[in-house]
Chain A
């Protein structure tokens, strides 16, 4: 079946540090890939997405590239801010019903 594996957290960084959160997936067919962000006490917001191999999703300084050869969709940001502290979820949908399958989430803590 479809599954998503994320690196365990928390990830603790100082402001302006470089961020990478690893995500790999297992899926049949050609999934679409997503990163969602959950700020404290809130629901989920779509951060970025990619719908086919080699696509790069980007938003708010975050980027992720759909790598079919390594079945990965790692999230990166060149310089994190305290306001980026949140839980980040990698997810995929496959064709058909579009059920969204999530990874376990990675908590990011950014200190001043």
Chain B
């Protein structure tokens, strides 16, 4: 069966520090991968998506970047976190006719 792993579950980081959030998918190949962010009191915003290894599309210009070094691995990064980067980050995957599956999320607090 297909599963998606996302870690860590919670993270508290100081302003200006780097960030690396990892997401891996099991049980499928060549999925579309996504990073969403849910800021406090707001809806879900698509940050990045990827249709294949090394292929990243950014939806919103910001302080974050994404990479896909392997078919089932998707990484969200920042060189220097801002307070406004705080939020709940969700990784997801999809394939044609298979719908979306979300990870359990990472709550990031930048202090």
Chain A residues within CB distance 8 Å of chain B? 34, 36, 42-46, 49, 89, 97-105
Sample 16 A-B pairs with CB under 8 A, ordered by A number: A43-B90, A43-B102, A43-B103, A44-B44, A44-B92, A44-B102, A49-B99, A89-B44, A97-B32, A98-B94, A98-B96, A99-B46, A100-B34, A100-B46, A102-B43, A105-B43
Give me 13 other A-B pairs in contact (C-beta within 8 A), A89-B43, A98-B32, A102-B44 excluded: A34-B100, A42-B105, A43-B104, A43-B105, A44-B44, A45-B102, A46-B99, A46-B100, A49-B99, A89-B44, A100-B34, A102-B43, A104-B42
Q: Which residues in B have their C-beta under 8 angstroms from that of A104?
A: 42-43
Question: Would you give the shortest CB distance from B54 to chain A, in whole angstroms?
Answer: 17
Question: Would you give the shortest CB distance from A4 to chain B, in whole angstroms?
Answer: 9
Q: Which residues in B have their C-beta under 8 angstroms from that of A98?
A: 32, 94, 96
Q: Which residues in B have their C-beta under 8 angstroms from that of A100?
A: 34, 46, 92, 94, 100
Q: Which residues in B have their C-beta under 8 angstroms from that of A43?
A: 6, 90, 102-105
Asked whether any CB of chain A lies closer than 8 Å to the CB of B49, the reply is yes
**Chain B, interface SS category:** strand
Chain B residues within CB distance 8 Å of chain A? 6, 32, 34, 36, 42-44, 46, 49, 51, 90, 92, 94, 96, 99-100, 102-105
Question: Would you give the shortest CB distance from A110 to chain B, in whole angstroms?
Answer: 20
Q: Which residues in B have their C-beta under 8 angstroms from that of A89?
A: 43-44
**Chain A, interface SS category:** strand
- Give the residue among B43, B46, B96 with the most A Cβ atoms within 10 A: B43
The residue of chain B having its C-beta at the shortest distance from the C-beta of A102 within the complex is B44
Docked CA distance A49–B94 (Å): 15
Q: Which residues in A have their C-beta under 8 angstroms from that of B96?
A: 98
Docked CA distance A46–B94 (Å): 13
A-B residue pairs, 4 tightest by C-beta: A104-B43, A102-B44, A44-B102, A43-B104
Question: Would you give the shortest CB distance from B14 to chain A, in whole angstroms?
Answer: 24
Question: In the bound complex, do residue A103 and residue B43 qualify as a contact, i.e. CB atoms below 8 Å apart?
Answer: yes
Docked CA distance A42–B6 (Å): 12
